[in-house]
Amino acid sequence: MPNSKEYSGEFMRRGRVEVICGSMFSGKTEELIRRMKRAKLSKQKVEIFKPSIDVRYSEEDVVSHEGNAIPSTPVESAASILLMGSDADVLGIDEAQFFDSQIVDVCNELASRGTRVIVAGLDLDFKGNPFGPMPQLCAIADDVTKVHAICVRCGALAYVSHRIVAGDRQVMLGETHEYEPLCRQCYAEVTQR
């Protein structure tokens, strides 16, 4: 039987990929921050990254809609995460839907090296279509947590982030003035008008 220290993580890190997904205003970033802070309290080396295009609340920090924040490193590409985060015990990635498909390989590689990778992102775009690499990340994840906002029209669990301003581009950074969480039924009613 192996020595108990081998199982404590002292000598052997066990990598994994955890995905937190859902619509806007569902608490994805809040949950990512919570998990990262817990890892830090456990004296683990943590790194967190976000796409450099996300400057809504801060150019550098990852900030939730609730105003909680954690220092992060903005990056242009998924490859940068692999280079800069290779010695982290726990690595967080926010707004993963904005990265290209290489993010899947990066997460797999980091997990194979023994890193716990926690990824947060929108699973659906404003049209209700799978968003960027999120379906592939959910497929390779060891654990997927789907969080839900509340539909602003009926109070049911939200399904999608409905865009309430004009524009057809898939990527449009925004907040409550640009998007609202809607359940499947309310979304269908709004889009059929």
- Between strands 73-75 and 160-163, the pairing is unpaired
For 27-173, list the strands marked E by DSSP: 46-51, 62-63, 69-70, 73-75, 90-93, 116-122, 143-147, 160-163
Beta strand pairing status for 62-63 and 160-163? unpaired
Catalytic residue selected from 18, 95, 175, 178? 95
92, 47 Cβ separation under 8 angstroms? yes
Write the CB contacts of 53 (distance below 8 Å, at least 6 apart in sequence): 98, 171, 173
Would you say 120 and 24 are in contact if contact means Cβ atoms under 8 Å apart?
no
Per DSSP, 19 falls in state E
CA-nearest of 113, 53, 60 to 83 is 113
Is 59 marked active-site? no
* Active-site residue set: 95
